[in-house]
């Protein structure tokens, strides 16, 4: 069965193309780069995969996908599975004509293949899906007003930009936390304090503690203690005495290890050493 188009509006003067389409399981797409176009794909029903810069992204209903003008991409429809979606393409002229070039930054300033997807929970809670539905409604009118449609597209782009900024902020924090964890694990057997870690990453002790707790659920000190406990167990299983292992990983003595173990695990080392896993 061939694809059938429900709605398509193309306005070169305004600089956008709107497509509301249903695919019945035929996949005829090829990998390509849209040099002058920026695409927004909203999945309405079914499932759809996109491969962007070699990374496969699986879309579910209400997910929104952003594709920049320099990103190599192609769609992958599942054979025999109906898929309904909206595809909005705008070119750079659109941003210039409507004096909103700052909104193109969400396409231009992302690293290729990153932050492409806004998941359905964010789409629904942010009101993005309501804007998409309004855009779809105007596009379905007998004589669609392209100026009105353009204004809704700007509203959509504005709200998409806010969500992308949130994603970038979250990812930036995640990268910071990842680096902090790597630093801690590289220095587990050394004396390491909150001040040492904060100084290494040029942040305050308070910000370090807040960032780490929000990102991992652990306090920094609890994480360090737990990882050291795991390391004590590994050394002990290899034949090293607990006393030597405790000192080797940074506990001053066995009693310090015992207190840390009991505080985290709510039992003595003899009761639960075999349960430790991270």
The per-residue pLDDT for 277 is 46
Query: Which residue would you say has higher pLDDT here, 234 or 4?
Result: 234
0.85 cut: is pTM over it? no
pLDDT tens-digit map of 203-245? 899 999 998 888 788 889 888 888 888 888 888 888 888 888 8
Query: Which residue would you say has higher pLDDT here, 78 or 85?
Result: 85
Query: Which residue would you say has higher pLDDT here, 96 or 62?
Result: 62
**In the predicted structure, residue 273 carries a pLDDT above the cut 70:** no
**In the predicted structure, residue 87 carries a pLDDT above the cut 90:** yes
**In the predicted structure, residue 272 carries a pLDDT above the cut 60:** no
pLDDT tens-digit map of 95-153? 988 999 889 888 877 778 888 999 999 999 999 999 999 999 999 999 999 999 999 99
**In the predicted structure, residue 278 carries a pLDDT above the cut 80:** no
pLDDT classification of 1: cutoffs 50, 70, 90 = very low
> What's the mean pLDDT in 46-75?
91
pLDDT tens-digit map of 156-208? 999 999 998 888 777 777 778 888 888 988 888 888 889 999 999 888 999 99
Query: What single string gives the DSSP state of each residue in the chain?
Result: ---EEEEEEEETTTTEEEEEEEE-S------B--SSEEEEEEEEES-EEEEETTEEEEE-TT-EEEE-TT--EEEEEPTT--EEEEEEEEEHHHHHHTT-GGGGHHHHSSPTTSS-EE-HHHHHHTTHHHHHHHHHHHHTSSS--HHHHHHHHHHHHHHHHHHHHHHHHHHHHHHHHHHHHHHHHHTTTS---HHHHHHHTT--HHHHHHHHHHHHSS-HHHHHHHHHHHHHHHHHHTT--HHHHHHHHT-SSHHHHHHHHHHHHSS-HHHHGGG---
**In the predicted structure, residue 2 carries a pLDDT above the cut 60:** no
**In the predicted structure, residue 274 carries a pLDDT above the cut 60:** no
The per-residue pLDDT for 248 is 85
């Amino acid at each position: 069965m061939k694809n059938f188009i429900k709605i398509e509006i193309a306005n070169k003067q305004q600089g956008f193309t709107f497509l509301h389409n249903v695919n019945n399981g035929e996949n005829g797409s090829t990998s390509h780069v849209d040099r002058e176009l920026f695409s927004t794909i909203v999945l309405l029903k079914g499932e759809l995969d996109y491969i962007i810069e070699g990374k496969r992204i699986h879309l579910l209903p209400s997910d929104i996908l952003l594709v920049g003008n320099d990103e190599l991409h192609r769609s992958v429809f599942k054979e025999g599975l109906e898929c309904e979606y909206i595809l909005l393409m705008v070119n750079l002229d659109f941003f210039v004509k409507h004096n909103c070039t700052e909104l193109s930054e969400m396409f231009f300033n992302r690293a290729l293949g990153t932050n492409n997807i806004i998941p359905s929970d964010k789409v629904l809670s942010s009101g993005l899906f309501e804007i998409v539905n309004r855009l779809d409604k105007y596009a379905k009118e007998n004589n669609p007003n392209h100026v009105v449609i353009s204004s809704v597209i700007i509203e959509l782009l504005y709200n998409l930009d806010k969500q992308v900024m949130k994603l970038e902020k979250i990812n930036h924090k995640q990268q910071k936390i990842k680096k902090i964890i790597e630093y801690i694990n590289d220095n587990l057997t050394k004396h390491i304090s909150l001040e040492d870690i904060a100084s290494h990453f040029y942040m305050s002790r308070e910000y370090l503690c807040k960032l780490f707790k929000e990102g991992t659920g652990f306090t920094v000190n609890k994480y360090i203690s737990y990882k050291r406990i795991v390391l004590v167990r590994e050394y002990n299983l290899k034949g090293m005495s607990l006393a030597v292992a405790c000192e080797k990983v940074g506990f001053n003595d066995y009693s310090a290890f015992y207190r840390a173990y009991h505080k985290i695990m709510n039992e003595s080392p003899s009761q639960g050493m075999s349960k430790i896993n991270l």
